[in-house]
Amino acid sequence: MKPRVILFHKPFGVLSQFTDEGSGYPTLADYIDVPKVYAAGRLDRDSEGLLVLTDDGKLQARIASPKFKKSKVYWVQVERIPDDAALEALRRGVVLKDGKTRPAKVRRMEAPSPLFPRDPPVRFRKSVPDCWLELTITEGKNRQVRRMTAHVGHPTLRLIRAQVGDWHLGGLRPGEWREA
């Protein structure tokens, strides 16, 4: 039987699980009424974008486990404009408290289109420019992208996962899902 795969555009503020365990935050259950599917990997509550869900445990492990090196593409709005040295550090891998990251692919990019409004909006400061990066990693340490950009001096303001392996956000709006 073919595994069921659901692509979900997780909005900001939503937990990547079906129960809130008393937190009061919205969960996947508020958006997806499909029995026996589970998130393959996680996105923090303050991150947005593509979350892949499946009913196949082996597929779930292949997507989520770093040992399978499934690429994940993020659109990252960072504080200030990273210079070439900062981007090169990300490309080589940076040393975080839990070890060195694998080398990342990174490039500056224009703001994603369409860029859906976020509630609450990202703070805007006239005196501090920001920049969008496309960052591709093949692992998924806790809050890794945020820690990597902070490590090179450019804190993350907004984080959107655009792709997991061959699956893309496509035209999904925040809160929408479709079968893959």
Distant-in-sequence, close-in-space partners of 100: CB < 8 Å, separation ≥ 6: 93, 94
**CB-based burial, 30-57: b 16+ in 10 Å, e otherwise:** ebbeeeebebbbebeeebbbbbbbbbbe
Count CB neighbours of 130 within 10 A: 18
Q: Which residue has the tokens 């935050």?
A: 25
For the chain, where are the E strands, in sequence order?
Answer: 5-10, 38-39, 48-54, 72-79, 95-96, 99-100, 105-109, 130-137, 156-164, 167-168, 177-179
The answer to whether the beta carbons of residues 86 and 154 sit under 8 Å apart is yes
- Please give the positions annotated as active site: 44
Closest to 157 (Cα-Cα) out of 51, 65, 77, 53: 77
